[in-house]
Structure 1
Amino acid sequence: MEDLIKTLKDYKVAVVHDWLNGMRGGEKVLEALLEILPDADLFTLLHEPGSVSERIENRKIVTSFIDRLPYKTNHYRHYLPLFPTAIELFDFKEYDIIISTSHCVAKGVRTPPNTLHISYLHSPMRYVWDMYEDYFSPDQIGWLSRRIIPMFANYLRMWDVTSSNRVDHFIANSAHVAKRIMKYYRRSAEVIHPPVDTDLLPVSAASEEYYLIVSALVPYKRVDLAVRTFNRMGKRLIVIGDGPEKADLHRTGAKNIEFLDWLPNEQLYKYYSGCKALIFPGEED
């Protein structure tokens, strides 16, 4: 690792991440990359100061015009049709290597001919491909959205495929994602699994009478499936996380299901070590 860091110091490197507004799985990968790349600049669509770890916050962060639009804190997803333009406006003429971590548009940056672009992909743009119906089913969106969204989705699919040709090397976070990269982009990808800090999460012998979900509360995580299942089972379930589905999940969950906001790592580890089982209902995870 030290030899790799010394070698990379001879090059000007930029890291591109979709957005910075919370510490989830993608941001854990970003943290690990920034540890390897201590001098790299960080580019992102938008940044909510104080929402990510100190290692990320202390980096030089360059944001797009999305970061200056109104209501971007809670409604940034509504600007999705503008994301391709925003990511393409970044200028990387001075950089030798670009490393993008992407589940949306970060892999679509424009780079000079002699710049190497490596993309660590968490997923092709899931809400316009295989999970389109999960995000935009008729019971989730209104009459006007049902007529507008398909047109934007078609444009985003075309852009997503076209921009995949700008990547020199793809890395997938799992074999499942590598298959989807081949399916939608017709590109091969090497699989490198996300980092896990085993020192902070030792094996625990404790087993209390609750099950645990730690997740962003978004459609593809399928937390709704777990809530319906535990409603029927009556067993205690603790859900830790936040996201646009939180209110609906809260409303449908029975008394045996407890919802908590994101917690500091020290508290989170206690829930991990004490749970009877960790529940992962989403296919992608």
Structure 2
Amino acid sequence: MTARDPFLPGFTLHDIDADGVRIRAAAGGSGPPVLLLHGHPQTHATWHAVAPRLGERFSVVAMDLRGYGDSDKPPGGEGHAAYAKRAMAADAVAVMRALGHESFAVVGHDRGGRVAHRLALDHPAAVSRLAVFDIAPTATMYARTDKAFATAYFWWFFLIQPAPLPERLIGADPEFFLRTHLEGQSKTPGCPSPELFAEYLRVYRDPATRHAICEDYRAAATIDLAHDAADAEARIAAPLLALWGARGIVGRTYDVLETWREKARDVRGRALDCGHTLQEERPDEVSAALLDFLG
């Protein structure tokens, strides 16, 4: 399909085959290519205020990760391998190649940042620059978990429980769970907007989405950690920008830049005065930082 994106002005929607998994992506703008990857519980619509700004200087692609938004939601398979960040990173490469981009910058928020991290390790020739929003590396966060983090990020430990426990509990009132989750993470009144919340709820009401989200987190606690351990000595070659919310848990819990200096050779970044969802809470600052970094 090709159609106009209702959330990203001037962008066109595409359904792209990534080795048998259909990925929904929005593309717009012109110039050097940039890939935007959302987190949980968002979709590519989270970039609505940033993507058009970037599109003035770059060819921008914003995709729904597998399991999220309007992308396919395959079964998790043995060991949750279908939702390994390695599989999601391969989707991203396939999408960008289908749109004519062999090498590109990657910007990832939350889960998308974890996909971006794996993408830079597995496909270094494809990644020219890397930006991650409000995360420390997955293995680092698990290794340094304490009571304060486990309390604040309870869903890291709830969603990984064996199926169908979290799926059925969330399914009893998905709107309440989603609203509580988003309101707890945002520190900016009005974020997300009612329109964005309605879009996130539209897909969250789908049981296949909820199961895929759980599989994403289950993979993060199992197969992703195995992949990270195998690459423990690897370092990201591309320049890396880390931005985080000064009022969020990640910024209060970790020395964010130091955690990324353990994983990458060239790291810079800073905190923004907001919560977890930087691109929605501080879109002007995020756009300016990305335009400067992507250059």
Q: Which has the higher contact order (CA 8 A, sep 6+)?
A: 2
User: What is the TM-score of this pair, normalised by structure 2?
Assistant: 0.28
TM-score normalised by L of structure 1: 0.28
The structure with the largest alpha-carbon Rg is 1
> Per residue, is there more helix in 1 or in 2?
2
